[in-house]
Structures are given as C-alpha cells and as structure tokens.
Amino acid sequence: MGAIMPVSTNTAGKKVWQLRNRNETLTRWFCFLVLVATFMWCWKYISDATTWFFVWDAPNIAADIGSRAFPPRWSYMDKLWGPIWDTLNIATIGTVLALIIAVPVAFLAARNTTPSTLFIRPIALLIIVSTRSINSLIWALLLVAIIGPGTFAGLIAIAIRSIGFCAKLLYEAIEEIDHKQVEAITATGASRMQIMIYAIAPQILPAFAGISVFRWDINIRESTVLGLVGAGGIGLQLQSSLNTLAWPQVTLILTVILVAVVIGEWVSAKVRGAII
Amino acid sequence: MSAATLEARLGQRWRKPPFIRNNLLRWAMAAGVFAYLILAIGSFDVNWARVNEGLVRGWLFIKAFMSPDFLSRSIEIREGMLESVIITITSTVVGVLISIPIGLGAARNIAPLPVYLICRGIITLSRALNEIIVAILMVAIFGFGPLAGFITLSFATIGFLSKLLAEDIEDMDKAQAEAIRATGSSWMQWINYGVQPQVMPRLIGLSMYRLDINFRESAILGLVGAGGIGATLNTAFDRYEFDTAAAILIIIIVTVMVLEYLSGFIRAWVQ
Amino acid sequence: MLKLEKLTKTYPTGDQALRAVDMVVPNGQVLALIGPSGAGKSTLIRCINRLVAPTSGKVILNDLDITALGSGGLRRARRTMGMIFQEYALVERLTVMENVLSGRLGYVGFWRSLTRRYPQSDIDEAFRLLDRVGLLDMADKRADELSGGQRQRVGIARALIQNPELLLVDEPTASLDPKTSRQIMRLICELCRERGLAAVINIHDVALAQMFVQRVVGLKSGEIQFDGAPGEMSEEVLTRIYGEEDWKATIAKAEDEVVA
C-alpha cells in the first residue's frame, strides 16, 4: 500500500512523519542509482583507455617538468611583444566585427522585433545556435584550412564564434524590454526605424555594453590559444616552445597569458561598473 | 543655469548632453579609439590571393554541409563521440562534487578567512587558465587519452561552479539562515537547513549549464590529444575531408541543441 | 470630431473587449470613460489610434477613416492624436528633452531623429511646453530621475508637442497620490481648454472624473451603459456600470469637491 501523505500510520498505529512519501523516495533512489551506475560505467571506460603506469609516474613527471620550467626565460619576452599585440587585436577587432553582425541578427531573432516569426526568426536562431555551439578553436581550425594560417584566420574565428553568443544575450534583452515605452513612441506616429532608435535602443544599451565587454574578456582568453592551430597570436609561440620542449619559455608564456587574462578581467569589470 | 527662464532658452540651440562632459577628454578618447582601430586593423596582414583561393575551399565546405558524410569514418566518429560524452559526464559529476565544498569555502559569509583565501585562489587559477592549456599540461603529465581530458574539464568546472555558487551563497537571504542558526543547530545542520534549500535549485541549473559547456569544450580536447571527438575532427580537416568534418560539426551542433533543450527543461522542473 | 461606428474588438483568445460601440466626441469636448477593470476602456482608446487593431467597425477622425489607412497614412494620422499613458511610459534612459521631442518623431526624418537635430521651432515649442508644465529646469535630466508626477507632466508635454487635435489619455493618475492626481487632471483639462482639444480620458476614479470633465461615458463588458453629464450620475447608474455596492459616499464626496 503506497502512502500518499507524508504523514502515514505505521504498523503500531502511530502517525509517522516523513519528508517524502514512499513513491517519491523510491524514485529518488532509482535516479540516484542510475546516476551512479552511469558514472561507474563511464569511469571504467576512461580507466580502460588509460595507461595507469604513466599515471602512477605522474608526480615524478610533474616534478621533472616543474624543475625544468623554472626559472622562466625572461629574455624571451622581447619576442613576445608582437604576438601580444596581435592577440589583443584579434580579441578586440573580433569582438567589434561580431557585434556589427550580432545586432541585426538579434533584432531578427527577438520575438517582438522580428519581421516574420515563421520564416526569418528560425534562420536567425539557426545562425545563433550554429555559431555558438562550435568552439572558436574549431572555427580557427576550419578557417586555417580555408584561408591559410595567420592572424586573419584567428580574427574571423573569434568573430564568428562571438556572433551567436552576443546575439543570443542581446535578443533575450530585446525580448525583455518594457513594451509600454515602445507603445508610447509608436503612438506619436514614429516609423519602424524611429521606434527602434528611440524606444528599443535606449532600453537595451546597458545590456549591449555589458555583453560587449563580457565577450571581449572571453575573447582575450580564447585568442591566446588560437595559435595552437596556427591562427596567430601568442599561442603560436606557445606551440613552438612546446614542440621544442623549451619549458622555461612555456612558463614565461603562461605567465604572460595569466597576466593578460587578469588585466582583461579587471578592465571589463571596471568598464561594466562604469556603465551600470 | 538652474534658474534659466523660458525667454533665455527660446531660440537657443539644444544638443543632447554628451556622455562624457569634458570636451577635451571626449575628443581625446575618440581620437584614441580611432587611432587604435587604424593601427589594429593595419596589423592584420591579409594575403588576399590566399584568401581568394580559400573562398573556393570555403564554398566546398559549405556544400559539404549540404551533403555531410556520416558513413566513411563512422567508426571513428562513434568512438570519438562516445569518448566526448563520457568525458563530459564524468568531469561534470566530479567537478560539481568538488565545487560544492570549495564554493562553501569561497563564500565570505560562511568561511573563515584562511579557507576563503585558499578557495578563492583555486577558483582564480582555474578560471584564468584556458581549458586547452590545462589540457596540454595534463597530457604532458598523465599521457595521451581521456583521463587528461577528464581532469582538465573537472578542474575547469570547479572554477566556474564554485565561483557562482559562492556568489549565490553570499547573496542569499540572511534572515532564513539566521533563523536556523537561532534554533541552536550545528554548522552542518545549519548548511543543510539554512543554506542548501536556498542555493540548491540554482546549483542544479548551473550544473546543467556546465554540462552543456563541458560537452562543447570536450570537442576540442582531442586537438591536443586529451581524448574526444576533436582528434577525429582535426584529422578530417588535415585531410581536407570537409564532408566528414561537416558531419561531425552537425553532430556537435545537434547535441548542444538537445542538451540546451534538456537543461532548460530540467531547470524549469527544478524551480 | 471623433466618431466611432460599431467598433468591435475580439481578441484571439476569444475575449470580446468591445461590442459594437457607437460614440461621437465633438471638437473640444473632454470626455471621461469609466468602468470596471476589463470593461474595454484601454482597448477602446487603443483602437482609436490603432495600437490595437479593431476587429470591425470604423474610427473616423475629422472625416478621415482611420481604420482604412495604410501604414504611412496611419503614422500621419497618429501625429494628430496625442496619447498619455498609465505609468507615464517615458523612455526612461533618455533625457526629459528627448522624451518631449520624441513627440515630433512623426514630423522629422530618420537621420534628424537619430542625430537629435530637431528644427529650432520644435525645440522652442518643447521649451515652452516644459515651462508650461513647470519642468523647464529638468530639461537635461534623465527621465528616470523624476518623480511620478513630474514624469506624467513630461508625458503630457510629449503628447502636446505633437500638436494634436485629440488627446487619448489612459489612466493618467493610476499610480499617483491623490493630490498629484488632481493636479495632473487639472493640468490636462486646462490644456485641453486652452488649445480647444478634445480628449478621451480613461479613468477608474469616478469622483475625480466628475470633478473635471464635461461628459461621462460608462463602459461595461464592452458596451456603453451610460452617457451623460457628470451631474446625471446617480447611485443607480454606478450600480449599472460597476454592480451592487453602496455608492452614496462616492457621489457625495464628488459633489463636495465640486462645491469646494
């Protein structure tokens, strides 16, 4: 007999309170069991694919790498300024390019501004999903194959990856605007474009600024590794240092990347604070 | 200007007050931005002949999307996808489990200062290091294979989830937590009754979101030998097998879409 | 003159908001539209300038059939109808001056509105109106820095700078305190008188309506239940519109205030 209420009568005839009734408890245990079983199966797969001998040796290897990696080779810094500049440009110009495309896409994707829910909105959403689902490194890989290695491929990769990200956040912001302000501007006899710039743009401007800076911050991180697939920036130096096992240089490059990321995060936090 | 009369205003030009009031600063900033744009755009050396050549290949790739080839490398694709999914699941579970204590430790209103600093340190390190860099190091230390990928993504999950969890705990409703404390509960009981109910729905939502991110990231781990579909994809690009590459990308996009739909569903169900 | 002929609105959900409403508002008349929530007051006002498209029937403003207009014609027609909103509906992040000038959007081109280069005559008129509503010093403040009463004054200036022939006013006092409510109603009615404007004021406060307007129309379930002078309102009329309730206090209070 399944107890419906959390309060049930036990065999001795006394009322017992439980947090959940029996069916719920069973369902929970079942879900938990499935989760554990799945995890164990997955873990077995990983375990089978791993050479455990190397893993047991890992502390030694890590210590070995660590001892070779220090101190960083500071003199290598001279060769890094150029790549750092490239990395910054890839991130910044990539963000700008992405925003230029993301704004119209967002307007076409938002339910309240799209010209056609049936036809144009799905296309805009498809653009957003497909650019967003694929990592910028994969875009870089693809673009290096298509237009050859270099910073230009990195720029386009960062731009494409950012379109979906920015457009998604932006169209959600557009859908959340206060409709009354739009109605008021419409009632003055304003045209579609005027409604856009007077009623919608001021409302989404803070979101837009926040999104741009947020994405720029992420793009700084991502553009540091694009070089691994040949798409320019400081990642190129990282790749070549790794290939030649020049660990002191690797340490220096990783330090530079860390500093760049921290500065990027600091700048974006400052700018966002100033806007909002 | 506070007591300007109407007469003084009539016939006067009106301009929207600029965002930056100081004229000099405004112009200097505009000039600075302009100069940077020129320099930055100039720094991209574009080999237009090569790009032009590439357009043909780009077109081939787009055509490949119309006729993706799932079959000729179906075994590699299946193996790679399975590995990606496995890395995603295990790293999310382990990452979430570890980020709960670290998240608690990184919340200033619960944790003592030394614990707080250590946990914040772990979070900062994890967030600052790009997944792919961690993956390279892990491959160097643990050797090729999905274990390196699993460790990488677990580590990344910790940074992401602990930070948001800690912020959530710091923002929580103090009154509820205090009410539980006032009953004379122990620390564990206090966390269980006063804190957990407030943060749990969001924790589940964030874990689902992270599952989604981990899957996307697992697709690139293979580029550096840390397991998953990335290796297959890399090979496909290297051999210019665009139809196979397109097939893999389509699978990734569809999986991400399914995951997003699923996580939206679960989040709605939890709240 | 505004004429509504068999104006009907049925929402896609099946709600009949308006059922063949016939009404004539002569030039210069200030009319209050009263009725319970959901009676169709808001819909009626929005059907006049087609913010809500009527299902059938006609809206005729000075011999122009508004229901038959294309999008360009509709925009030109909207210029002649100023609208004032419940909760002000100002664009919060724009300055007061920009909000007022946005009333001229129907008259200026896209680039001028984008760069905020309005004709000098518009700017002078905006300042005159801001002075009239007592907000001249606030011109360059952002709209969200103002109090409720001040915001509604900006809303009034925005409607008037359109140089309208008709004012559509949707619950102008719904979120204001009693004193400010009266000030705003008085301002609207004074301005209508000064400019010879007709107005349809949609209002839920019966006493306030009686105080200021020349004609009251009572709406219930999308049909007109009462149409007459404020003085003709009786307990029986209010019961017909709103349902059974002790109405003595409402009417008595209103009469006191009219005397005072």
State the nearest Cα–Cα gap between A208 and chain C, in angstroms.
14
Helices (H) and strands (E) in chain A, counts: 11, 2
Map residue C228 onto helix, strand or coil: strand
Which amino acid belongs to residue C84? I
B57 at A interface, C-beta within 8 A: yes
Give domain status of residue A18, yes or no: yes
Q: Looking at beta carbons, which residues of chain A come within 8 Å of C51?
A: 183, 186-187
Rounded to 5 degrees, φ, ψ at C177 are: -75, 165
**CATH number of domain containing A162:** 1.10.3720.10
Residues A89 and A216 in one domain: yes
CB neighbours of residue B189 within 10 Å: 13
Structure tokens at C181: 């409510």
Give domain status of residue A2, yes or no: no
Q: In what order do the strands lie in the sheet with C64-65?
A: C16-25, C2-10, C56-61, C64-65
C77 at A interface, C-beta within 8 A: yes
* Mutation choice for C interface testing from B16, B19, B21 by most C CBs within 10 A: B16
Total structural domains within chain A:
2
pTM: 0.82
Q: Looking at beta carbons, which residues of chain B come within 8 Å of C95?
A: 16-17
- One fold for C1-74+167-172+199-260 and C81-163: yes
Q: Please name the chains neighbouring B, where neighbouring means 3+ C-beta pairs under 8 angstroms.
A: A, C
Which stretches does DSSP call E strand in chain C?
A: 2-10, 16-25, 30-34, 56-61, 64-65, 81-84, 166-170, 198-202, 215-220, 223-228
Residues A86 and A185 in one domain: yes
- β-partners of residue C168 are C83, C200
Rounded to 5 degrees, φ, ψ at A263 are: -60, -45
Structure tokens at C188: 């609207």
Residues A100 and A170 in one domain: yes
Identify the CATH assignment for C81-163 out of 3.40.50.300, 3.40.640.10, 3.30.460.80, 3.30.2320.80.
3.40.50.300
Domain boundary among A68, A94, A117: A68
Beta carbons of B40 and A38 less than 8 Å apart? no
Give domain status of residue A254, yes or no: yes
What is residue C34's DSSP assignment? Answer: E
Q: What is the pLDDT along chain A (276 residues), one digit of tens a residue?
A: 444 455 556 666 666 666 667 777 888 888 889 888 888 888 888 888 777 777 788 788 888 888 877 787 787 778 888 888 988 999 999 999 999 999 999 999 988 888 888 889 999 998 998 888 888 888 888 888 888 888 888 999 999 999 999 999 999 999 888 888 999 999 998 888 899 889 999 999 888 988 898 899 889 888 888 888 888 888 888 888 888 888 888 888 888 888 888 888 888 888 877 766
**Whole-number Cα distances in Å, A274 to A95, A169, B16, B26:** 20, 20, 20, 16
Sorted by sequence, the CB contacts under 8 Å of residue B264 that are 6+ apart come out as none
Nearest to A135 by CA among A256, A221, A213: A221
Domain boundary among A29, A44, A68: A68
Query: Could you read off the pLDDT of A97-153 as tens digits, one per residue?
Result: 999 999 999 999 988 888 888 889 999 998 998 888 888 888 888 888 888 888 888
Q: What range does the domain containing A144 cover?
A: 80-275
Query: Could you read off the pLDDT of C68-90 as tens digits, one per residue?
Result: 888 889 989 999 999 998 888 88
Residues A148 and A199 in one domain: yes
- Domain range summary for chain C, segments of one domain joined by +: 1-74+167-172+199-260, 81-163
In this prediction, residue A10 carries a pLDDT of 63
List average pLDDT for each run of 10 residues in chain B, which is 271 residues long: 67 78 85 90 81 82 80 82 89 90 84 87 85 87 85 91 85 74 75 76 83 87 84 84 86 86 78 64
- Closest chain A residue to C78, measured at CA: A189
C1-74+167-172+199-260 CATH: 3.40.50.300
Which amino acid belongs to residue C150? Q
CA torsion angle A158 A163 A164 A165 (round to 10):
70
Give domain status of residue A85, yes or no: yes
Phi-psi group of C28: left, alpha or beta (phi > 0 → left; psi -120 to 50 → alpha; rest → beta): left
Beta carbons of B17 and C123 less than 8 Å apart? no
Q: Looking at beta carbons, which residues of chain A come within 8 Å of B46?
A: 150, 152
Which amino acid belongs to residue B235? T
C116 at B interface, C-beta within 8 A: yes
The ipTM (two decimal places) reads 0.87
Residue ranges of chain C with per-residue pLDDT less than 70: 251-260
Residues A40 and A171 in one domain: no
Identify the CATH assignment for B74-270 out of 1.10.3720.10, 1.20.120.1200, 1.10.357.10, 1.10.940.10.
1.10.3720.10
Beta carbons of C140 and B17 less than 8 Å apart? yes
Nearest to C257 by CA among C217, C215, C218, C205: C205
Q: Looking at beta carbons, which residues of chain C come within 8 Å of B12?
A: 123
Sorted by sequence, the CB contacts under 8 Å of residue C56 that are 6+ apart come out as C6, C7, C8
Cβ(C79)–Cβ(C164) below 8 Å: yes
Cβ(B146)–Cβ(A45) below 8 Å: yes
State the nearest Cα–Cα gap between A109 and chain C, in angstroms.
23
β-strand pairing of C16-25 with C198-202: unpaired
Residues A200 and A170 in one domain: yes
Residues A52 and A88 in one domain: no
